[in-house]
Amino acid sequence: MGKMNFSGVEEEVITREEFPLEKARQVLKDEVVAVLGYGTQGMAQSLNMRDNGINVIVGLKEGRSWEKALKDGWQPGKNLFSIEEAARRGTVIQYLLSDAAQKMVWPVVKECLNEGDALYFSHGFSVVYKDQTGVVPPKNVDVILVAPKGSGASVRANFLDGSGINSSFAVYQDYTGRATERTLALGIAIGSGYLFRTDFEHEVYSDLVGERGILMGALAGVMEAQYNTLRKYGHTPSEAFNETVEELTQSLIRLVAQNGMDWMYSNCSTTAQRGALDWRHRFRNATLPVFEELYQSVRSGEETWNVLEANSAPDYREKLEAELKDIRDSEMWQAGAVVRSLRPENWKKG
């Protein structure tokens, strides 16, 4: 296992060179990996492992996800079962249902665990907030985590193009003495580019803050603020959207990903450079109190309580669709739909 130094902090990082796929296959050769759930992570991780030659089965209740699994080639009675049956057959149980569903199904899954099994998560939610979820693993199983740092769609797409996606890993409980080896093997088998060590608490805290913050909540909020300001002062929807979203997503963020923010500053006009450097501090200082409040809300369990309460409501999907429709129908994202249609790759061939 390798060590990498990040700004004076030494971290444990495992690459595919250090833990190749053949080693992962050897570690997992006698395992039956039961993936419970077929949302974006369940689908991506199960398909990637199947393609990598791992003995995988999927556990689902019949419905939309079951139909989707059938289309992906999973066969009932062979490698597609009910949640309970898959959990009984598996030696590694990948618990990849939604957080709310994990709470509801846990009494069934718990009864299916055998001594020496591995209970695998891709999110620390259920275990860390056990007072809210009731998910308390038995003492005679390994409890492990591999958390890809991207959506399930990215996990699958990156696997197919050979690049992989970075993942964190953690061991919460090592009953067999093989928990770390199993975790790393599973991380490689699902297609991770490299793995870095964390623990369940740090994973769920960073994940919940990131989703609510820069990855989605903050990004959407600041986009709306800039777009609305430009529109207020007479800029057209097209101009406001291009300056707010299109240039960011189609040009700048790709360059930042490839080269870093310092390179971006060094390779723009002097006017953009000076203004961005000056206003950077204003935006950081303005949002820092919001991020502090967000972190405390995550750590206290308030955010998870809100999630579980909302997701268990009988009209949750109807309310969710209304919220998403509000975004979709807003002028900003209606303008976005038009702008996206005008991208060169969408032009009709003559």
Query: Which residues, including other chains, have CB under 8 Å from residue 156's CB and lie 6 or more apart?
Result: 43, 44, 47, 48
123 part of the active site = yes
Q: What six digits make up the tokens of 209?
A: 């803050």
Phi, psi of 125 (to 5 degrees): -50, -60
Closest to 243 (Cα-Cα) out of 266, 227, 261, 258: 227
Query: Which residues, including other chains, have CB under 8 Å from residue 133's CB and lie 6 or more apart?
Result: 99, 102, 103, 106, 125, 126, 308
Neighbour-count burial for 48-68, b at 16+ CB within 10 Å, e otherwise: bbbebebbbbbbbeeeebbee
What is the full DSSP assignment across 64-132? HHHHHHHHTT--BTTTEE-HHHHHHH-SEEEE-S-HHHHHHHHHHHHHH--TT-EEEESSSHHHHTHHH
Is-contact 239 252, C-beta < 8 A? Answer: no
Q: What six digits make up the tokens of 350?
A: 């003559």
> How many angstroms separate the CA atoms of 132 and 152, rounded?
26
Of 123, 202, 235, 281, the catalytic one is 123
Is-contact 166 194, C-beta < 8 A? Answer: yes
Is-contact 61 85, C-beta < 8 A? Answer: no
> How many angstroms separate the CA atoms of 24 and 44, rounded?
18
- 3-state SS, 240-296, equals HHHHHHHHHHHHHHHHHHHHCHHHHHHCCCHHHHHHHHHHHHHHHHHHHHHHHHHHH
Residues classed as catalytic: 123
